[in-house]
Amino acid sequence: MQADRRGQWPAGGHPGTQADPRAQWPGGSHPGTQADPRAQWPAGGHPGTQADPRRQWTDGGHRTDGRPGRQADPHRQWPDDRYPGAQADGQRQWPNGGHPGAQADRHGQWTDGGHPGTRPDERTDGGIPRQRTGGRRRSAESPEEPNRRGHTRRGVLAAALVTLAGGGLVGGGAIWRLSGSGDGSGSSPASAVSAKPTPSPTPDYLGPARKRVEAYVRATKGRIAVAVQDRVTGVSVTVGTQRFQTASIVKADILAAVLWHAQQDGKKISSADRERARKSITLSDNDATSVLYDRIDGKPGLTAANRTFGLKETTPNVRWGMTLTTVADQIRLLTALSAEDGPLTEADRAYLFGLMSKVDEEQDWGITAAGTDTTESYVKNGWDQLDADNGKWAVNSIGRLVEPEHDWLIAVLSSQHTKMETGIRMVEKVAKYTVGELRKIPLPS
């Protein structure tokens, strides 16, 4: 909506409808169609398209610079592409209520967010206002002149906005600074208010613990790997990806496979096989293990069960003691066997871990060294002299330690020991150190 200095808007609801004391509206049905003693409106369908004695609008309200619907009077440019006809003269404010603060005076800035820093200038040609790069424009006139002319209601609202934001100036220049532009003297008040302190990062306890374990394993100068996972907190660490011969730790895997196959067939294992299972786990009896291995058809049966258990890096062998595996796969096995929603029934889980808690005293070594006085221990160890290593020993230990606030699954595999006792000491030291480092990690709050 618009007025010149000599007339009034005849219809507030029709932007661009204008009266002139020297002319009449030629078409009441087309608001914005106007006659002027010096120029003609070129397109009745485009309210706000206007010609003055020094400019002509091109056909259909489209200026020569290609911006539709924009308009100029002898002294100012239109700052808002989207609202042709929203115009101010030297004594009035922008009437468009949809853009609070969209305003121009003869000393200030255009404050519409679409054109920050653009300013009217009577010396500008082509309808493109000259760009401002600083604060308010300085002129020969007093900077207080807008105040002497008085304020419309929008001027008062703009002044209140500046006052609330901490500004001391009244006018377009101060509002423009609030919109995010500035003269390089500092941050805008809006950005200062919205700034929030960056929260402190959560301390990384696991990363340093893993590095210490890696350094400790390297310092052993042996062929050894370790993996530990806490079922309660979820923290875990794995050091070493190499494969090892299982030796007798595979007996826990074989018994789990026997239980799983019987479950698939809807049967329970016989009392004779239960006795063989007891000997296999608690005494590490090889003959009893071989009978159980045959019961599941050997390598194919163990492979099928391991697929269900989620193992990825274990290769069964017809000679069960020469099965190859990794510490990561042994943690997967222990996870499947201990999970409430795992492949074994609750009764079978209790049966298997019950046997692992009753190993012979002479075989109660390995990962149990990492336990405390309140720890419940479940273990299966394996040891063997390997022809492929010129008779050197492979010493392995897998199992579970349950204590207040922790449920550790642990696997330590090693080889190339000249003596079995040397291998046991190394396995126990690595297990104890690794679990000890993870115990230092604070529990989740």
Q: Is residue 100 part of a domain?
A: yes
Tokens in use for 247? 């030796």
Domain ends where: 128, 159, 190?
A: 190
Residues 158 and 299 in one domain: no
Residues 375 and 327 in one domain: yes
Residues 233 and 333 in one domain: yes
Distances 242 to 88, 335, 396, 430 between C-alpha atoms, Å:
80, 20, 13, 16
Q: What is the pLDDT of residue 378?
A: 98
Residues 219 and 156 in one domain: no
Alpha carbon distance 60, 370 (integer Å) = 88
Residues 154 and 231 in one domain: no
Q: What is the pLDDT of residue 130?
A: 41
423 three-state secondary structure = helix
Distances 419 to 393, 394, 423, 432 between C-alpha atoms, Å:
6, 9, 7, 20
Q: What is the pLDDT of residue 445?
A: 78
Alpha carbon distance 334, 344 (integer Å) = 12
Distance of CA 23 to the CA centre of its chain: 65
Q: What is the pLDDT of residue 189?
A: 40
Tokens in use for 169? 């100036």
Residues 184 and 315 in one domain: no
Measure the CA angle with vertex 390, ends 386 and 396; round to 5°: 35
236 three-state secondary structure = strand
Q: What is the pLDDT of residue 373?
A: 86
DSSP string, 44-100: TTSTT---BTTB---GGGB-TTS-BT--B-SS-B---TTSTT----TT-----TTST
Q: How many domains does the chain have?
A: 3
The CATH number of the domain holding residue 329 is 3.40.710.10
Residues 319 and 358 in one domain: yes
Domain ends where: 40, 74, 108?
A: 74
Q: What is the pLDDT of residue 196?
A: 63
Residues 110 and 37 in one domain: no
Radius of gyration of the chain (CA): 43
Residues 184 and 211 in one domain: no
- Max CA pair span of the chain: 120
Where on the phi/psi map is residue 64: left (φ > 0), alpha (ψ -120 to 50), or beta?
Answer: alpha
Residues 298 and 222 in one domain: yes
Report field, pTM of the whole predicted structure over 0.95: no
Residues 326 and 186 in one domain: no
Please report which residue ranges of 188-345 form alpha helices under DSSP H: 189-194, 206-219, 250-264, 271-282, 286-295, 299-309, 327-338
Q: Is residue 364 part of a domain?
A: yes
Q: Is residue 445 part of a domain?
A: no
Alpha carbon distance 187, 119 (integer Å) = 22
Q: What is the pLDDT of residue 197?
A: 60
Segments forming the whole domain that contains residue 263: 206-439
Q: How would you write the pLDDT of the chain (445 residues) with one tens digit per residue?
A: 444 434 444 444 444 444 444 444 444 444 444 444 444 444 444 444 444 444 444 444 444 454 444 444 444 444 444 444 444 444 444 444 444 444 444 444 444 444 444 444 433 344 433 433 333 333 334 344 444 344 444 444 444 443 444 443 333 333 333 333 344 444 444 434 445 666 556 689 999 999 999 999 999 988 999 999 999 999 999 999 999 999 999 999 999 999 999 999 999 999 999 999 999 999 999 999 999 999 999 999 999 999 999 999 999 999 999 999 999 999 999 999 999 999 999 999 999 999 999 999 999 999 999 999 888 999 999 999 999 999 999 999 999 999 999 999 999 999 999 999 999 999 999 999 999 999 999 998 7
Q: Is residue 27 part of a domain?
A: yes
Q: Is residue 409 part of a domain?
A: yes
